[in-house]
Amino acid sequence: MDVSTPRKVGKSSLHLSPLGFGAAPLGNPSVTVEDSLKTVASAWDNGVRFYDTAPLYGIGRSERRLGLALSGLAESGIAISRDEYRVNTKVGKTLVAEPVIDADKKTLTPGGGPRTARDPLSGFRIAFDYTHDAILRQHADSLQRLGLSSVDSLTIHDMDYGYHSKEQIEHHLRELSADGGGGATALRDLRSSDAIAAIGCGCNLEHKNADSWIGGAHEDLVERIADATDLDFFVVAGGYTLLETRAFRRILPLCEERGIGAIGASPYASGLLVVPREAGATYMYGPPSEEIMDRAQKMDAICKRNGVPLAAAALQFPLAHPTMAAVIPGAKTAHEAAENSRHLNTPIPEEVWKSFKEDGLLDPDVPTPSAS
């Protein structure tokens, strides 16, 4: 499987390096600015030319640090030009200055978690808004935080049942619709004016929205978003990994039908596919079930027998699907960024994929990487 040639994203003009960099960890205050700069530099040194971030990550911190790191590469003497790399950020959340805490602005998800979080360090709070003017403002705000005059794509972020009630979902869909709040029109206008090359939409499967996938509500919602917005790609997080292939059911066929690409986020399933035997390892940002833990450890045993890390199989697996343009594992240290590159380039024996399927650990119908 070719993991070096840039891949076309759906029907768009955008091409991405198969290995991207998920910049969410840079938003964590426990990661120092110095380590953030070193991590991005390590990713660059290992051939990464696609960087994914969002206003949500650290409530602006990830975008600021990613922009600082990319500008720092040039300032350190590395020959770098803007047309060498691609940046994706996200829309749907405005960061509103709140120097004094306003408890009325704090809202919770249906599961009781934070929905409109406030960063105590910066005093900015998230406000959901998918309308025309809000999306234009969010785009402009992200450019300022990144210190860039352009990004290559914008992704509709977190319009799902993990964050919103059914009533809130309907409200945000009206905000997005061309004949409602006009958010979709703003995105199409940005693309037609070449301010961006592609429009994406997040498609998450994690603990807080897992129930919405059981009866198909999440997939129904994703189809409605695709109908409202001329999408170029989905960022599929958690729905297409070694441990969970539900996106193969309806999401990826929808992509093939409409010429929509896919980007694989959380390929390590938030860590379990890197350290399946470590106490406290998480699965999609929550505790793994016994069944999930058992499957991960059986996969790990197969990989060990064949002399390869489970993480390498996990990172390469999504890229075998014909719609998948890139995978975007996160990294919070320079070592982790280098490890991602090593995992992508580790040859995986055919016996690994064969054993996964024969042992009932992986859907027998999903495509797997070829040895070529």
pLDDT over 60 (residue 72): yes
């929509």: which residue's tokens?
Answer: 260
Residue 212 has what pLDDT? 96
What CA–CA distance (Å, rounded) separates 49 from 178? 33
Q: In which band, very low, low, confident or very high, does the pLDDT at 79 lie, cut at 50, 70 and 90?
A: confident
Mean pLDDT of the chain: 96
| Superfamily classification of domain 15-358 | NADP-dependent oxidoreductase domain (3.20.20.100)
Tokens of 201: 């939409």
Q: In which band, very low, low, confident or very high, does the pLDDT at 371 lie, cut at 50, 70 and 90?
A: low
Tell me the per-residue pLDDT of 260-316, one tens digit each, with 9 for 90 and over.
Answer: 999 999 999 999 999 998 888 999 999 999 999 999 999 999 999 999 999 999 999
Whether this prediction's pTM lies above 0.95 is answered by: yes
Tell me the per-residue pLDDT of 120-152, one tens digit each, with 9 for 90 and over.
Answer: 999 999 999 999 999 999 999 999 999 999 999
Q: How many CA atoms lie within 13 A of 10 on its CB side?
A: 26
What is the number of other CB atoms lying within 10 angstroms of the CB of residue 90?
25
- Give phi and psi for 162, each to the nearest 5: -75, -30
Q: How far is CA 334 from CA 3, 30, 330, in A?
A: 21, 15, 11
pLDDT over 60 (residue 318): yes
Whether the CA torsion 228, 234, 236, 242 is positive or negative: it is positive
277 versus 25: the higher-pLDDT residue is 25
Q: What is the mean pLDDT of residues 195-200?
A: 98
Strands 15-16 and 7-8: antiparallel
What is the number of other CB atoms lying within 10 angstroms of the CB of residue 98?
16
Q: What is the mean pLDDT of residues 233-248?
A: 98
pLDDT over 80 (residue 8): yes
- Backbone angle region of 249, left / alpha / beta, with phi > 0 → left and psi within -120 to 50 → alpha: alpha
- Among 204, 226, 187, which Cα is nearest to 89's? 187
